[in-house]
Structure 1
């Protein structure tokens, strides 16, 4: 699973068109896409489902990063300088050649693993974050919506995004398979606690069942704090964003979630307005906080939580003021 021969074989079919196609698909696995996707989903499709899906995406990203640090295994282009770095115009600078495994379940050469574990700034590969998040995002859409077009697009993404990582030389087959496994397990977990019950845990009625609501409340609010305290240097901003999203889920569970109009035009206008306003307000708030205060891990955590939570709440207020959604909090 950590053979470089697989990557060499796939890259033997390299063409300029294929590279452009797979660069497009791999771009759908970066934070810029997730940012736009979640805001558009929240303000243009379904507010409650959008926040819950954002929670799932962030959890997936955090667990993926934690596992990357735990395993600390190099990427294909680290172990073999003959692997093409097709996502950039630069040549492969690795000093190693043919450092992949010789057996199916074997790992890359031990000296190469240790070299990159001690090298500052190494971005490890196992599991593939593009794959794990693709499974939770597009798998969630398959579970939530029965539309055949959504299923077709989702299956395409579930195939093309992970394969793009192999073609571009970013991941081993083992990284991708581990990403599928992690994403699948998380999708199964969230299906059972959220999707199967139609998000009843975020219903105002759930508060009546005080014990279950209290347990869910602890999970939502303390998980980001625990992750930050134990792993302060692992994607601090993601932990902060998770706290911001989870706080909104708690507040809206108690008060009721904003409702989008049924009009397609208003939904499009709401999504566009939210994307522009939230992007601008996030940038301004981040610039002010980073300028006035020293950039410590704690500040990054707190500021990202504030920007995410307050930013989405304020954006909802703006959209409501423009009559693009209801803020009279429907309670289900």
Structure 2
């Protein structure tokens, strides 16, 4: 699973159309697209269900980042210089002779040391694009229970796996690892979410569920501050909306829903831009707390705009 045979097999079909198709598929797993998709579900469709999917997404992304850091496996282009990296800088030394020989073998220590010493493309396992698109698409299929959505989700997930291997960003083992992480932890969060939100009167359980990411605070050295802080801040924002205004009922007018999504996305990206410009450290308690505050304030600010514009009503 950690040999480049399948990457070479996929790249034998190389063509400009194939490249742009798989490049487009991979773009679906980028932060910009996924954040817009999340806000479209949360603000354009259903806040409660959207936040269920958002929690699945953030737990998966944090665990993916943790596994990447701990495992620290190389990417195919860092080992096999004969692969087409499609503009991505690869290793200058061909290390294919040090690849695992058996299908289920893992990387040898000599190969890992060479890659890490040269600072070549690393942290390939598990595939983040695969795990994150799996979290959102599988979450959508679980919560909304539409047959067409299940078929679409499975198709996009499989295409994402092939795109990452074709572009030489991941081994077969990487994308399978991303698939397992995405499916397993999305389903675990879904089970908890379903039991809690199936009883709307159980407000305490809802609060506990939304506050559970606070366990990340004492683990600030394990997880990057930005995704962890954003996760906690969004959940706190959700609870604040429920306490201040109640559960929102979105306008039946599609245009107003699109406007609401645009407001939330714009304020979220503006907040993110400011955070990045301030240059907070990637890890650290202060960074985490600041991201929590920024995330919560930006979410509540967008909600305030929608309330004042009378785009939202409340139960």
Q: Do they fold alike, i.e. is TM over 0.5?
A: yes
Please provide the CA RMSD for this pair.
2.6
1:226 aligns to 2:224 (yes or no): no
Give the alignment partner of residue 310 of structure 1, picking from 276, 297, 313.
297
Stretches of structure 2 lacking an aligned partner (at least 5 in a row)? none
Structure-to-structure mapping, 1:168-179, within 5 angstroms: 168-179=167-178
Give the alignment partner of residue 95 of structure 1, picking from 93, 96, 105.
93
Q: Hey, what's the Cα distance between the residues in 1 that align with 2:296 and 2:187?
A: 27
Query: Retained in 1: the 8 A contact 2:52–2:190?
Result: no
Stretches of structure 1 lacking an aligned partner (at least 5 in a row)? none
Q: Hey, what's the Cα distance between the residues in 1 that align with 2:91 and 2:29?
A: 25
Distance change (3 Å), C-alpha of 1:247 and 1:91: closer
Give the alignment partner of residue 247 of structure 2, picking from 253, 257, 273.
257
Displacement of 1:308: 1.4
Q: Hey, what's the Cα distance between the residues in 2 that align with 1:253 and 1:316?
A: 11
1:189 aligns to 2:188 (yes or no): yes
Displacement of 1:12: 1.0
Give the alignment partner of residue 269 of structure 1, picking from 259, 284, 296.
259
Query: Retained in 1: the 8 A contact 2:197–2:206?
Result: no
Query: Retained in 2: the 8 A contact 1:77–1:94?
Result: no
Count how many residue pairs are aligned between Structure 1 and Structure 2.
Answer: 313
SS of residue matched to 1:226: coil
Indicate the residue corresponding to 1:39 in structure 2: 39
Q: Hey, what's the Cα distance between the residues in 2 that align with 1:271 and 1:215?
A: 27
Structure-to-structure mapping, 1:1-332, within 5 angstroms: 1-86=1-86, 88=87, 90=88, 92-98=90-96, 99-120=98-119, 123-194=122-193, 196-197=194-195, 199-200=197-198, 203=200, 205-207=201-203, 212=205, 216=209, 219-221=212-214, 223-228=215-220, 230-231=221-222, 234-252=223-241, 254=243, 256-284=246-274, 287=277, 290=278, 297-326=284-313, 328=314, 330=315
SS of residue matched to 1:85: coil
Q: Hey, what's the Cα distance between the residues in 2 that align with 1:80 and 1:57?
A: 32
Query: Retained in 1: the 8 A contact 2:53–2:136?
Result: yes
Distance change (3 Å), C-alpha of 1:284 and 1:184: closer
TM (norm. structure 1) is 0.85
Q: Hey, what's the Cα distance between the residues in 1 that align with 2:135 and 2:50?
A: 13
Query: Retained in 1: the 8 A contact 2:74–2:120?
Result: no
